[in-house]
Amino acid sequence: MDHRGEPGPIIVQIAGADPAQLAEAAQFNAEHGADIIDINMGCPAKKVCNVAAGSALLSDEPLVSRILTTVVNAVDIPVTLKTRTGPSADTRNAVRIAQLAEDSGIQMFALHGRTRDQLYKGHAEYDTIASVRRAIDIPLVANGDIDSPERARQVLDHTGADGLMIGRAAQGNPWIFREVAHFLETGKHLAPPNPDEVRLTLLEHLTALYEFYGEVMGPRIARKHIGWYFKTRSDFKRHKKTLFAIECPQQQYNAIDAILRNTQHEELAA
């Protein structure tokens, strides 16, 4: 995939367990427009961990070190790392991994406050992230359960992290980033997006999905995104079966547009 000419900064995430293959992947992406390479050692999914990649690597610190050093030395652009607090609650080794990362030349360390075996269950903990902050000098990004402006403030204060990474809370709610940024800067809340902005944003998102994934896969992949945008709507169950049965991009687009326009009209008439 050629990223040259795309809006930047372009950050490409790579995953795997073979240092040489990862270095080759990093070089390929650097040659095709990537500004930053991010190494994924945080994914807990079985399909990733079963091939000894993602967060499965946390159990092999020497291999982690070889991967990081090999990739950093393979490219002339910054390399960052995303990981978790450890394989399990009894084997939290994020501080050691962070030190290995810094020694290898990693330029930013992002840490999710759960272990590999937690998946996304329970709650993220931030004490380990705070411990990592005290152990390294490179920029640290805190991640995990940051789902509101207030939580963002709490996590920054508790961990001393330089920045935040928001994942699941942004699904269907891309406005969370501006809301968090505004709250951190002013201590005040932004008004939520109005219905027309929600409609236009979702339609723009759908168009991008169709263009990227094509007419067959685009509408299918769009279904989960529609579900995230609609998750707080009381009428979602009523529309879900119909929306998720649509295979044609234009029909899906028109159906979403009609539902959201009708909602706006109902709110104006109320």
How far is it, in rounded angstroms, from Cα 194 to Cα 236? 18
Look at residue 187 and give its three-state secondary structure. Answer: coil
How far is it, in rounded angstroms, from Cα 52 to Cα 50? 5
Look at residue 104 and give its three-state secondary structure. Answer: helix
Catalytic residue among 15, 41, 43, 72: 43
Q: Tokens 């709610």 belong to which residue? A: 173
Task: Return the C-alpha torsion angle 184, 170, 148, 121, nearest 10.
Answer: -130
Q: Angle, to 10 degrees, between the axis of helix 176-186 and the axis of helix 149-159?
A: 60
Q: What are phi and psi of 35, to 5 degrees?
A: -95, -30
**Interior angle at CA 130, CA 151 and CA 106, nearest 5:** 105
From the CA atom positions of the chain, what is the Rg in Å? 21
C-beta of residue 189 within 8 angstroms of C-beta of residue 175: no
How far is it, in rounded angstroms, from Cα 85 to Cα 91? 9
How far is it, in rounded angstroms, from Cα 84 to Cα 82? 7
How far is it, in rounded angstroms, from Cα 202 to Cα 67? 39
Would you call 43 a catalytic residue per the annotation? yes
**Catalytic residue IDs:** 43
